[in-house]
Structure 1
Amino acid sequence: MTEVFTRGTPKQAFLQELVAWGKTAPEAIFTDQPDNKKDIYASVTEELGPFGDITHRKACMLEVMRVLAGFESSWKWNTGRDSHNPAENSPDTNSAGAFQVSANSLVFGDDLKSLVAPHGILNAKGDGDAFEALMKTNHPLAMEYIARLMRHTRKANGPLYKGSERNHFAPPFDRPEQSVYPWLSRHAVAEFQAFLA
């Protein structure tokens, strides 16, 4: 697998979890949404497209997740609050897990709320600590959550900002190499496809 900026490559166990989730994940997560310009697929068309069948679309999503987790946590599931981010100052804003999502991202979709509700997480403000624990410990759910979230928006994760969107960040984090896009690999997608088949 291709290295991710200064993070290196993930351990085999992380990749195995990604593939295992990809094999059983609902196909609806990956289907084409041609009018959705906020969608992660719309953002990686240049790097990974054109997109083929559902297996190829799954493999592309797994590749984005692989690179994103490298940036966000160096593929560590127990990663918690980003102490360098002053906006993370309450349970609902604290990032959690390999993909560094926070409870306040629940506002982006009813499917996100439905995913965590069976675990007693009913609102971001009151259940932020429970959300954080869930993202660290329930890896299949955390993977489904980030995949669904990226179909709604890329603005919940800094490394997904692209092009001029990166002007939102101070140097050196505004540079393209601080985003997932230069590190996405068609070869890695082909490997994921083979494992998913």
Structure 2
Amino acid sequence: MTALRLIMLAASAASVSACNPLMQGSLDTLGASLHRPAGLEVTQAQVDSLPYYQIQVTTEFGSAVMALVRVQGKLQYWRANSNQLLLLEDGVIVRTLGFPNDLLGTRLAAGSPFPRELQRVADGQPSHRWIDLASNMQFDIPLSGAFHPAGIETVRILERDYSLLRIDEVLKSPIAGMSSTNHYWVDPQDGFVMQSRQQVTPILSVTLTQLRPLRGQP
């Protein structure tokens, strides 16, 4: 999907959260925070007041709640009221629009555990992907490394504690800033990613938390 079509999608979904204090306030925070970090406190009551699937996104540039505006197969389109878009597939951020130095695309290697059972990944199992970056229009940048299960941890999301399996993904890249360790906190029963911390571009690290998740997709 082209950037123009993504922009049109964001504009067409403008009414999703414009009138809700939680969404409007948080998204104003993200827009303003392109110049300075800002925090965001979210409550269960605020999330429950919206009839939409929701995620919280926290970056070096601030924090926002995003609403799900479209599903295409396993690809999920999450939108901020300030028109940022984040595309998520099997827990992996595969594209962004409206962030600094956008991620234009991601291709996972065949046999990647993300579409299947991430909770069953073996220690040292290889990980490979290729990304495209808007900065200098760089394409097919390889990221290679390995997965390492780190054990069960308690993660608090809103007012509930979850016992989640942390999976670390250590990646190396020829591009400065992309060699990193991503963390995924997954449901040990089905591998659904409830929270993650991903290096998306050399200057954009995203912590993503499922507030009202869409689960059970084919």
Q: Which structure has the larger Rg over C-alpha atoms?
A: 2
**TM-score normalised by structure 1 residue count:** 0.27
Decide which structure has greater strand share: 2
Decide which structure has greater helix share: 1
Q: Which has the higher contact order (CA 8 A, sep 6+)?
A: 1
**TM-score normalised by structure 2 residue count:** 0.25
